[in-house]
Structure formats: C-alpha cells, structure tokens
C-alpha cells in the first residue's frame, strides 16, 4: 500500500485540557493509541508560546497547529506538504464553521459534532483538499438539515 502523497494524515480539535472535540484520521490508527497520542501532541503545542512558529515535528509527522480561543486545531501532514497552505486551510475551515454557527465556539462544535464533521468531510476527502468555497459547502449542509 503506497502512502506517499496523502496530504493530511489526521485532523484534530483538542482543547487545552487535552479533551478531543473532533478527530479524523486519514490513515488508520488503533483506537487505543489515539487518546495518548492526542494528549501528547496537545502538550507539545501548549509548551510553545505565541511568538513561536506553528510547525512542529513529532514522531515522524509534520504538525501544523493554530489555536483558536480554547481549541487547538492540529493537522498532521506528510513531510513534503506545503505548510502555509495547510495553515490557511485550517483558517478556511474555521471560517466555514463560523458562517454556519455565528461566532462559533467550542461548545458549538461539541453540540453539533455531526455538522462539524460533515463540513470537514466536505472539504477534505481521503486526506486531500477538495473544496474550499464556503458557498458550496453550505449547499450540501442545507440538504443535511433540510429533510425532516
């Protein structure tokens, strides 16, 4: 199985206490390992200050992260990935969430996990970016919410 070329390996939202609010792995990681893994990464991010750059290396992954309020948006990528592009993608994702939740906050994500997940799945498939325009995502979302 060839894995070179997967853009994202995982996408996590973890808060400062180490609780995972959303997780999507684009390559299988056994469940037992995940909590520890996520907590470790968050700890590394917490150890860094605001002025430091948003890129880390951990266990062979390149990690790109950014903190929005109480949540760390953490993306693990290939070594060959374009870091700034991913950083901005995270921002695009947050903006899309914001458009759907009005001043989105951690609570919104917790209580609407299915929506948040759905939005992510519209934008990233199989680890690759497919969609970045908010309007297209909103269209799909209305479908999800519409039928009663």
Partner 1 sequence: MNAAKNNMRGLTVFISDIRNAQSKEGEEKRVTKEMAHIRKEFREAKNVDGYQRRKYVCKLLYIYILGYDIDFGHMEAVTLLSSIKFQEKAIGYLALGVLLHESHELIPLIINSLQEDLQSRLDYFQCLALGAIANIGGKEMAESLAPLVQKLLVANTSPPHIKKRAAQALLRLYRKYPGILSADTWADKVLAILDDTDVGVLTSVCSLLLGVVQEEPAAWAAVVPRVVNTLARVVIGREYAKDYVYYSIPAPWLQVALLKILRNYPPPESSAVSTRLAEVLMVVFNSAESAKAGSVNHKNALNAILFEAIHLVIHYEGSSGPYQGMLKQAAALLGRFISAKETNIRYLGLDSMRHLASLSSETASMVKKYQDTVVISLRDADISIRRRALDLLYSMCDHSSSKTIVGELLTYLVTADYQIREELVLKIAALAEKFASNYAWYVDVILQLISTAGDHVSDQIWHRVIKIVTNHEDIQEYAARTVFAALGSSSCHEATVKVGGYILGEFGHLIAEQPGSGPMDQFRVLHAKFPTAGLTTRAMMLTTYAKIVNLYPELTAPVQDVFRQHQSFIDAEIQQRACEYFHLSSGNETLMQAVLDVIPAWNEKQESGPGAGAGVGVGVGIGGDTPDMKSKGTRGIRSPSLTSASEDLLGLNMGSALNASPNGVSAGYGAGPAYGAGAGGYNGAPAHPPSDGSDPFGLAVNTLTAPLALPAGTSSLGAPGVPSASNPFGLQGAGVNVGTGSIGGGAQPNNAGLLDMLGGGAPQGTSSGSFTGTELALVGGAGGVGAGALTDDEKSLAMYRRM
Cα–Cα distance measured from residue 41 to residue 57, given in angstroms and rounded to the nearest whole number: 10
User: Is residue 68 a contact residue for partner 1 (CB under 8 A)?
Assistant: no
CB of 28 to partner 1, least distance (A): 4
Pair of tokens at residue 146: 């519409």
Short-list 19, 1, 2, 4, CA closest to 77: 4
Residue with tokens 């799909």: 140
| Site pattern 89..118 for partner 1 (x: CB under 8 A) | x-xx--------xx----xx-xxxxxx-xx
User: Is residue 56 a contact residue for partner 1 (CB under 8 A)?
Assistant: yes
User: Is residue 7 a contact residue for partner 1 (CB under 8 A)?
Assistant: yes
| Total residues at interface with partner 1 (CB under 8 A) | 66
Task: Please say which residue, 20 or 46, places its beta carbon nearer to partner 1.
Answer: 20
User: Is residue 143 a contact residue for partner 1 (CB under 8 A)?
Assistant: yes
Cα–Cα distance measured from residue 5 to residue 80, given in angstroms and rounded to the nearest whole number: 8
Cα–Cα distance measured from residue 51 to residue 61, given in angstroms and rounded to the nearest whole number: 22
CB of 61 to partner 1, least distance (A): 14
CB of 29 to partner 1, least distance (A): 9
Short-list 112, 68, 108, CA closest to 92: 68
Phi and psi based region of residue 18 (left: phi greater than 0; alpha: psi -120 to 50; beta: remaining): left
Cα–Cα distance measured from residue 17 to residue 20, given in angstroms and rounded to the nearest whole number: 9
In the complex, which residues of this chain contact partner 1 (CB under 8 A)? 1-5, 7, 19-24, 26, 28, 31-32, 34-35, 48-49, 51-57, 82-85, 87-89, 91-92, 101-102, 107-108, 110-115, 117-118, 121, 125-126, 128-136, 140, 143-145, 147-148
């Amino acid at each position: 199985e060839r894995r070179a070329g997967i853009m994202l390996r995982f996408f996590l939202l973890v808060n400062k206490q180490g609780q995972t609010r959303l997780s999507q792995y684009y390559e299988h990681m056994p469940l037992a390992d995940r909590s520890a893994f996520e907590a470790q990464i968050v700890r590394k991010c917490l150890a860094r200050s605001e002025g430091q750059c948003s890129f880390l290396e951990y266990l062979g992954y390149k990690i790109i992260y950014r903190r929005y309020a109480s949540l760390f948006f953490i993306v693990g990528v290939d070594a060959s990935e374009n870091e700034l592009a991913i950083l901005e993608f995270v921002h695009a994702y947050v903006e899309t969430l914001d458009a759907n939740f009005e001043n989105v906050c951690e609570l919104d994500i917790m209580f609407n996990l299915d929506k948040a997940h759905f939005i992510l799945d519209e934008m990233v498939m199989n680890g690759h970016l497919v969609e970045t325009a908010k309007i297209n995502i909103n269209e799909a979302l209305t479908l999800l919410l519409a039928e009663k």
